[in-house]
Amino acid sequence: MRVVLVGGGHAHVHLLAAAAANPLKDTDLVLVSPTGWHHYSGMVPGYLAGTYTEADMAFDLRALAREAGARLVEGFATSISAARGEIDVEARSPAGAGAGVGARGGASAEVQRISFDRASLDVGSVPVGLELPGVREHAASVRPMSRAVELRERLDALVARDHEGPVRVCVVGAGAGGVEVALALNRRILAGGGGARVTLVEAGEHVLPGFSERVRRRALRVLHRAGVTVLVRTRATRVAPDALALESGESLPSELTVWLGGAAPPPLLGGSDLPLDPEGFFLVDAELRAVARDRAGRPPVWGAGDCIALEGAPWMPRAGVYAVRQSPILARNVLGAPDADAAPARYSPQRSFLALLNSADGRALLRWKGLVSHSRWAWWLKDRIDRRFMARYQR
Ligand SMILES: Cc1cc2nc3c(=O)[nH]c(=O)nc-3n(C[C@H](O)[C@H](O)[C@H](O)COP(=O)(O)OP(=O)(O)OC[C@H]3O[C@@H](n4cnc5c(N)ncnc54)[C@H](O)[C@@H]3O)c2cc1C
């Protein structure tokens, strides 16, 4: 039997570790990933601020695959045919990657077709708004997280340049990731001895959609104290190398624009015959398996993380915490339970989760049920949780 894992995200990292712990019999395990590394999003703001090194936040997929007895195919999956049991993978040269959000390497890609008996997707999401003019060409991002390395290099080059005035950066999207990235970049510019003018631009009514009014107020205080300007009800429409154009007709000077609009489905899903929800995410049931599209029944394709929508739970947030909680269920159902007669495991999402936002000032903003705290203690907790998670899978 051939099992193909597409994407080396949070859930597949666990699946590889599970396969290493319980070696598979008669199974050809394949991992498709653009590179041999996966970067852990929880530590990306700390990496941008300078607290962590790249090694601190990177999983070595090559080593994990080797331990699991899996073959690593380096490339992007571009389409999946569940009906034929085939995945097309484009091998792209990483050296060809450009600066913009959508840049993914050289265009002269070789296509490899891989057949499968079972497949599993953990390919994350892409930022909303990639199609707007200039976004792919000029904006930086942290999705996929490997782009964080490029973003930090671009920022450092700006800070190192002779500057008349402050370094001007715009971050588009004030979700949890946008707030953390704005604070981290601001901190890094100041630490480099430059003046910083960081602006957080949000089309919606508030920063931190999905969080309570109390958390938002606290976040606004933190942003204000750090000197980050917040513009809500402000829609960005175009990115130029030195400016961000707004729907109002105004333009903000911006030497570096970071694009972190919410989560949109990865392009791979559009080129596939998998069941999708109305937004275009991969629709799975509680077994994390594709729902049936027709009388042919459920395709042998599973999924986890940002790329899925769970049937009956359209409210489920897209956060790494959910991908991590899904991973044991995914591992059991995709790799097969040790007892072949056992029923498949079922996933039930938690209604709320512990949120810890790195505010890049030696503190973190914590939200746990009704509790809100911006404290050194919360930062200590976040650092500990993240490092412990990394230690489980770092080789
Ligand atoms: C700045 C920032 C900070 C965040 N911090 C947190 C946090 O502290 N806690 C939290 O819960 N959530 C956090 N999130 C959200 C979190 O990043 C995502 O929910 C999480 O990464 C989803 O995990 P995933 O496994 O689905 O996908 P990802 O982590 O995005 O991994 C997907 C992998 O698939 C690969 N891939 C993509 N397309 C293909 C393809 N076609 N073929 C092959 N491989 C492919 C990618 O290269 C990537 O390695 C943060 C987000 C941001 C932007």
Neighbour tally for 278: CB within 10 Å = 8
What pLDDT sits at residue 274? Answer: 96
Q: Dig out the tokens for 36 from the structure.
A: 């041999």
Q: Where are the domains of the chain?
A: 2-125+265-335, 135-262
Give the homologous superfamily in CATH for domain 135-262: FAD/NAD(P)-binding domain (3.50.50.60)
What pLDDT sits at residue 24? Answer: 86
* Ligand 1 center from residue 9 Cα (angstroms): 6
**Which of the following CATH numbers is that of domain 2-125+265-335: 3.50.50.60, 1.20.1290.10, 3.30.413.10, 3.10.310.10?**
3.50.50.60
Using CA atoms, how far apart are residues 318 and 145, in angstroms rounded to an integer?
15
User: If you take atom 20 of ligand 1, which residue's CA is the nearest one?
Assistant: 320
Is residue 169 within 8 A of residue 192, CB to CB? The reply is: no
What pLDDT sits at residue 204? Answer: 95
What pLDDT sits at residue 97? Answer: 38
* Ligand 1, atom nearest to 76 Cα: 42
Sign of dihedral through CA atoms 138, 245, 255, 202?
Answer: negative
Using CA atoms, how far apart are residues 100 and 15, in angstroms rounded to an integer?
31
User: If you take atom 5 of ligand 1, which residue's CA is the nearest one?
Assistant: 42
What pLDDT sits at residue 92? Answer: 65
* Ligand 1, atom nearest to 260 Cα: 53
Query: Residues enclosing ligand 1, CB less than 6 A?
Result: 6-11, 32-34, 38, 41-42, 44-45, 76-77, 122-124, 142-144, 177, 180-181, 260, 266, 268, 305-307, 318-321, 323
Which residues, listed in sequence order, are joined to residue 60 by a DSSP beta bridge? Answer: 37
Sheet (strand 355-358) strand order: 355-358, 364-368, 371-375
Q: What angle do CA 195, 103, 125 make, to 5 degrees?
A: 90
Choose the residue to mutate in 41, 104, 120 for probing ligand 1, maximizing ligand atoms within 8 Å of C-beta.
41
Residues composing the chain: 395
What pLDDT sits at residue 95? Answer: 40
Using CA atoms, how far apart are residues 264 and 141, in angstroms rounded to an integer?
14
Q: Do domains 2-125+265-335 and 135-262 have the same CATH topology?
A: yes
* Ligand 1, atom nearest to 12 Cα: 25
User: If you take atom 37 of ligand 1, which residue's CA is the nearest one?
Assistant: 123
* Ligand 1 center from residue 143 Cα (angstroms): 7
Is residue 324 within 8 A of residue 358, CB to CB? The reply is: no
Q: Which residue ranges in the chain fall short of pLDDT 70?
A: 92-108, 337-341
State phi, psi for 68 to the nearest 5 degrees: -85, -5
- Strand extents, DSSP E, 314-354: none
Burial class (CB in 10 A: 0-12, 13-18, 19+), 238: middle
